[in-house]
């Protein structure tokens, strides 16, 4: 199955038919591990001219040979539709996370917007998880509201009780698991079962799992959003997003909306993202292992009230993580015991390895205090002390541990 797409001539169904003009691996890649598929997907083909990687066409205009070709159905006539490198990137995404079509967007937030614009209905209502990514909440409370779409926020752990909130006006349910900053896990299959029974589409922000550690489509989700800026890009140098659709009909709707909105991704950014994907599963495994080591060590520290890491048995939703995920990303939270502001400042500003920064998923470790940006309206966030979020990079875990230990010592000296 193929469907016409605005970000390239075709969006391919995973494994059954990889993009014909860029993939020499036209066969079924499903027998391989994700790590191997990430290396093979979207490679080669006649356009690559023998090179391992696809060409980067810096293009706007495409010149067409014939009059018929100018208006011929299904022909790519403008580079906003995407070139070979976009097609290769989309193939790679589908190989890794499954789904019937991948549509690219110029950032993760643009991908959230694209998914919402695809299902938005004037006068409709969407149910959005209270622990969603902050700018997703801003999008719902501002632009979507102006366009006539109402939003109701629901507690992350609602499970099948989502049914109690649904009305005839409900046109979509938005999930994110784990939640941004506070790391609650959702019972995704319980929620999607209710939604499917009522014909209400679901959208999940699956950026945390990178589409590697969680399979949204196996769990009944219709649209999966990936901020490729994070683990796929992996090097803090690119902003790209994707909406991945469970079936061809939904992929067509997303592609049409993307065309209507005029969204595009530069060939250079698509190339960088695809290059990141080649090493993503390996980076992710290293970052995942280091993050768990650090999380376990942090649990033993007197300065810490709670570590919010789904792979720790102490996490309240650990059973859901063990049931639905095959791994954990390198991003987790921790609640400190109460600490004075000067102590927190001394700790956070003095690290040799951890930098203060809002993104995550790159090769470099980051830390942020989260309290100033937490907004919860369905269920209050309560904690024993300040909330921090750590994104673990590729530095050696021993060095990161020493860096954090020195931070605790600075905090003690400043209290
Ligand atoms: C969970 C989540 N979704 C989406 C995004 C948005 O991605 P981008 O920064 O590419 O817009 C982010 C960025 O931090 C995020 O954390």
- 135 CA → ligand 1 middle, Å: 8
Say how far residue 145 (Cα) sits from the centre of its chain: 24
Whether 53 is in a domain gets the answer no
E strand or H helix that includes residue 28: none
Instruction: Name the token pair of 361.
Output: 């998923």
Say what the pLDDT of residue 163 is.
98
Q: Are 411 and 303 in contact (CB under 8 A)?
A: yes
E strand or H helix that includes residue 310: none
Q: Are 389 and 332 in contact (CB under 8 A)?
A: yes
Q: Are 345 and 415 in contact (CB under 8 A)?
A: no
Q: Which of 180, 237, 240 is nearest to 205 (CA)?
A: 180
Q: Which mutation among 105, 107, 108 tests ligand 1's pocket best, with the greatest number of atoms within 8 A of CB? A: 108
Whether 374 is in a domain gets the answer yes
For ligand 1, what atom is nearest to the CA of residue 360? 14
| 108-125 pLDDT tens trace | 999 999 999 999 988 899
Phi, psi of 221 (to 5 degrees): -80, 150
Whether 251 is in a domain gets the answer no
- 71 CA → ligand 1 middle, Å: 37
C-alpha distances out from residue 349 to 239, 263, 336, 385, Å:
26, 38, 16, 18
Q: Is the peptide bond before 230 cis (omega within 30 degrees of 0)?
A: no
Of all protein residues, the one whose alpha carbon is nearest to atom 6 of ligand 1 is 108
Q: Which domain holds residue 340?
A: 279-414
| 37-71 pLDDT tens trace | 999 998 876 777 889 999 999 999 999 988 888 88
Whether 297 is in a domain gets the answer yes
Q: Which mutation among 133, 270, 362 tests ligand 1's pocket best, with the greatest number of atoms within 8 A of CB? A: 133
What is the residue whose two structure tokens read 């690559």?
A: 48
- 227 CA → ligand 1 middle, Å: 5
Determine how many CB atoms are found less than 10 A away from the CB of residue 17. Answer: 14
Q: Which mutation among 131, 226, 228, 230 tests ligand 1's pocket best, with the greatest number of atoms within 8 A of CB? A: 230
With a Cβ cut-off of 6 Å, ligand 1 is lined by 107-109, 133, 180, 205, 207, 227, 229, 239, 241, 359
- 307 CA → ligand 1 middle, Å: 22
Say what the pLDDT of residue 242 is.
98
Whether 36 is in a domain gets the answer no
Of all protein residues, the one whose alpha carbon is nearest to atom 5 of ligand 1 is 108
- 115 CA → ligand 1 middle, Å: 14
Q: Indicate the number of domains in the chain.
A: 1
- 162 CA → ligand 1 middle, Å: 25
Whether 324 is in a domain gets the answer yes
How is 89-147 classified by DSSP, letter by letter?
HHHHHHHHH--SEEEEESSHHHHHHHHHHHH--TT-EEEEETTS-HHHHHHIIIIIHHT
pTM of the predicted model as reported, rounded to 2 decimal places: 0.93
- 109 CA → ligand 1 middle, Å: 6
Whether 134 is in a domain gets the answer no
Taking the C-alpha atoms of residue 133 and residue 140, their distance in angstroms, rounded to an integer, is: 11
DSSP state of 22: T
Say what the pLDDT of residue 73 is.
66
CATH number at residue 375: 3.90.1150.10
For the four alpha carbons of 18, 214, 187 and 241, in that order, the dihedral sign comes to negative
Say what the pLDDT of residue 262 is.
97
Q: What is the mean pLDDT of each run of 10 residues along the chain (415 residues)?
A: 35 34 57 92 79 94 90 83 95 94 98 97 95 98 96 98 98 98 98 98 98 98 98 98 98 97 98 98 98 98 98 98 98 97 98 97 98 96 97 98 98 96
Cα radius of gyration rounded to whole Å, the chain:
22
Taking the C-alpha atoms of residue 215 and residue 320, their distance in angstroms, rounded to an integer, is: 13
Whether 112 is in a domain gets the answer no
Say what the pLDDT of residue 71 is.
85
Instruction: Name the token pair of 385.
Output: 């002390």
């Amino acid at each position: 199955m193929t469907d016409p797409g605005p970000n390239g001539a075709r969006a391919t169904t995973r494994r059954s038919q990889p993009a014909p003009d860029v993939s020499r691996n036209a066969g079924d890649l499903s027998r391989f591990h994700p790590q191997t598929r990430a290396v093979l997907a979207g490679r080669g083909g006649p356009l690559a001219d023998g090179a391992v990687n696809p060409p980067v066409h810096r293009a706007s205009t495409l010149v067409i040979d014939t009059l018929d070709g100018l208006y011929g159905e299904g022909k790519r006539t403008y580079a906003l539709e995407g070139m070979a490198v976009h097609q290769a990137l989309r193939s790679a995404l589908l190989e890794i996370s499954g789904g019937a079509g991948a549509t690219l967007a110029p950032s993760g937030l643009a991908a959230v917007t694209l998914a919402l614009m695809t299902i938005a209905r004037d006068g409709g209502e969407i149910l959005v998880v209270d622990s969603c990514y902050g700018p997703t909440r801003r999008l719902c409370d501002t632009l979507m509201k102006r366009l006539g779409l109402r939003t109701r926020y629901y507690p992350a752990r609602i499970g099948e009780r989502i049914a109690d909130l649904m009305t005839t006006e409900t046109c979509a349910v938005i999930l994110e698991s784990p939640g941004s900053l506070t790391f609650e896990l959702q019972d995704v299959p319980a929620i999607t079962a209710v939604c499917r029974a009522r014909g209400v589409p679901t959208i999940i922000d699956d950026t945390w799992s990178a589409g590697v550690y969680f399979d949204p489509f196996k769990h009944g989700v219709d649209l999966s959003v990936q901020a490729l800026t994070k683990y796929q890009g992996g090097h803090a140098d690119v902003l790209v997003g994707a909406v991945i659709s469970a079936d061809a009909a939904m992929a067509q709707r997303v592609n049409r909306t993307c065309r209507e909105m005029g969204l595009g991704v530069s060939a250079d950014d698509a190339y960088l993202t695809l290059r990141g994907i080649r090493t993503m599963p390996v980076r992710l495994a290293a970052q995942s292992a280091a993050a768990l080591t650090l999380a376990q060590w942090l649990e033993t520290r007197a300065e810490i009230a709670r570590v919010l890491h789904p792979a720790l048995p102490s996490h309240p939703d650990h059973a859901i993580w063990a049931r639905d995920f095959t791994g954990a990303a390198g991003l987790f939270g921790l609640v400190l015991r109460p600490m004075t502001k000067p102590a927190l400042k001394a700790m956070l500003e003095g690290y040799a390895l951890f930098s203060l920064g809002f993104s995550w998923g790159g090769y470099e470790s980051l830390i942020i205090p989260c309290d100033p940006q937490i907004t919860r309206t369905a269920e209050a966030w309560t904690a024993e002390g300040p909330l921090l979020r750590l994104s673990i990079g590729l530095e050696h875990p021993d060095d990161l541990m020493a860096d954090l230990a020195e931070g605790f010592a600075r905090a003690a000296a400043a209290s």
